[in-house]
Chain A
Amino acid sequence: QLQLQESGPGLVKPSETLSLTCTVSGASISSSNFYWGCIRQPPGKGLEWIGSISYSGYTYYNPSLKSRVAISVDTSKNQFSLKLTSVTAADTAVYYCARMAVYWFFDLWGRGTLVAVSS
């Protein structure tokens, strides 16, 4: 049974870089039928798509975050990773990893991890 697990620092200082790793278990990340995505949800607010990546490294990013986001994939570890630079308090959120089908829907989600931005 495929599962996704997020791992992150929990607390990041303003202006620093947020790093999140998503580990896929139960199936190979190297499937051409799926992309792998990152979505976030500020406390008490709605969902925001951050970006997605294919197993071969092709990326799509939310235009509003594109200048600060990088998503990479490591097929040898069955992982993909998010880096968000120059963070502010507005980046405080629960960050989710999800599997994205080729027709732009997210069919499997990780449990999410809360990342707070504070000094």
Chain B
Amino acid sequence: QSALTQSRSVSGSPGQSVTISCTGTSSDVGDYNYVSWYQQHPGKAPKLMIYDVSKRPSGVPDRFSGSKSGNTASLTISGLQGEDEADYYCCSYAGSYSLVVFGGGTKLTVL
């Protein structure tokens, strides 16, 4: 069982928006603004999409955005495209004991 809870799957049609949630606790997501999101296509390495809750690395489209409220972080993808179909993982700093925790992943299907 992963430390952070994500829904197993989400889907949307091209052009629509989807939101993927990541629920932690007051010891990780709720206590630190160190949430990151990764996109992983089948057979490929994960790719950083969002860091520090809402910052985008250079080269990541602005269709990807991140936010946080309380113990839940969210990744929103607007203007869905076929290439967005992938697994998405959240990650958070969890303090000086657990340090780094990942979510179980959410499979995004573009219909």
Contacts and interface: CB of A to CB of B under 8 A. Distances in A.
B46 A96 contact: yes
A46 B92 CA distance: 14
Interface stretch (B13-21, B67-75, B76-84, B97-105): B97-105
B38 interface: yes
Contacts, number: 65
A78 B44 CA distance: 24
B36 A49 contact: no
Interface in A87-118: 96, 101, 103-112
Interface residues of A, number: 22
A48 interface: yes
B47 A47 contact: no
Interface of A: 37, 46-49, 52, 60-63, 96, 101, 103-112
19 contacts: A46-B89, A46-B103, A46-B105, A47-B91, A47-B102, A49-B99, A62-B100, A96-B46, A101-B51, A104-B93, A104-B100, A105-B52, A105-B91, A106-B38, A106-B46, A106-B48, A106-B91, A109-B45, A109-B47
